[in-house]
Amino acid sequence: PLPTIYVITPTYARLVQKAELTRISQTFLHVPQLHWILVEDSPNKTALVSELLARSGLTYTHLHVLTPHDRKLQEGDPSWLKPRGAEQRNEGLRWLRESTRGRQREQGVVYFADDDNTYSVQLFEEMRGTQMVSVWPVGLVGGMRYERPVVEGGRVVRFHTGWRPGRPFPIDMAGFAVSLRLVLANPESRFDGNAPMGFLESSFLQGLVTMEELEPRAEMCTKVLVWHTRTEKPKMKREEALQKQGLGSDPGVEV
């Protein structure tokens, strides 16, 4: 049987949430044997997300965990101040370990997919055979056209990155997948929500794998199959002006 790809996605309520989740869920529909673990950063499961999942046609698990206030980025904070989505990814890992307990030998892959990135369907076939940790380039990230592991003689020897190449694993969240077996064999490994900027991925990968063991994919890390796109925050100037006159858009229409 095809190894299952467990995709863990943190998500939070904002104007573009439904658009983001619609886009990635419809990408995932093209991927066989994919199980989406969607983790809301909220005190409870919302109706918007519950209904979207129910209609998605995907195999999914719906979870939620609220990021504690002191760990959350505040309005006006620079976006690099605190890692985002750490508790939600950990909640996804907790569920996965619990629900696959006793299935240590199951072939499976775990991938952390943020809701705003752009994923090629091809990426999922690249990661499906992951033995420990597979890696590939990520486009439009870190102030670069792309970042990637540099491969020589079939092995990763260093990383092409614009910033702090000395980090243990200077890889974006979108640039690696881990085998289910490795996740289950290391029940304590998780993301450190207090990790300094740029070290969140390292906090998880450090205990799991060495650079030499990384499995390069996407034609020896020469092809970009995932992009760290970011969605502009929509302006609501007109909406607010109309609201003042009692002419705002119908709040009953879900956007």
- Report in angstroms how near the CB of residue 84 gets to ligand UDP at its nearest: 4
By CB under 6 A, residue 103 contacts ligand UDP: no
- For 239, half-sphere exposure in the C-beta direction (CA atoms, 13 angstrom radius) is 7
d(CA 190, CA 148): 23
Shortest distance (Å) from residue 39 CB to ligand UDP = 7
Residue 119 labeled ligand binder: no
**Residues ≥6 apart with Cβ < 8 Å to 238:** none
Quick one: which segment of 5-13, 28-36, 124-132, 234-242 binds ligand UDP (CB under 6 A)? Answer: 5-13
The distance of closest approach from Cβ of residue 191 to ligand UDP in the complex, given in angstroms and rounded to an integer, is 11
Structure tokens at 61: 């698990």
Torsion angles phi and psi, residue 34, rounded to 5: -115, 135
**Phi, psi (rounded to 5 degrees) for 37:** -110, 100
Do 11 and 40 contact (CB within 8 A), yes or no?
A: yes
Q: 64 a known binding residue? A: no
Residue count, binding to ligand UDP (CB under 6 A): 16
Query: Quick one: which segment of 51-59, 81-89, 150-158, 246-254 binds ligand UDP (CB under 6 A)?
Result: 81-89
d(CA 212, CA 125): 22
**Closest by alpha carbon to 123, among 47, 31, 246?**
31
Least Cβ distance, residue 136 to ligand UDP (angstroms): 18
Asked if 172 is part of the footprint of Mn ion (rule: CB under 5 A), the reply reads no
Select from 5, 6, 8, 10 the one that contacts ligand UDP (CB under 6 A): 10
Confirm whether residue 115 is marked as ligand binding.
yes
* Residue type, position 184, single letter: L
User: Do residues 226 and 138 make contact, with C-beta atoms less than 8 angstroms apart?
Assistant: yes
Active site residue 201: yes
Binding positions for UDP-alpha-D-glucuronate are 10-12, 41, 84, 89, 114-116, 228-230
The catalytic residues are: 201
Please give the residue ranges that form the binding site for Mn ion (CB under 5 A): 114, 116
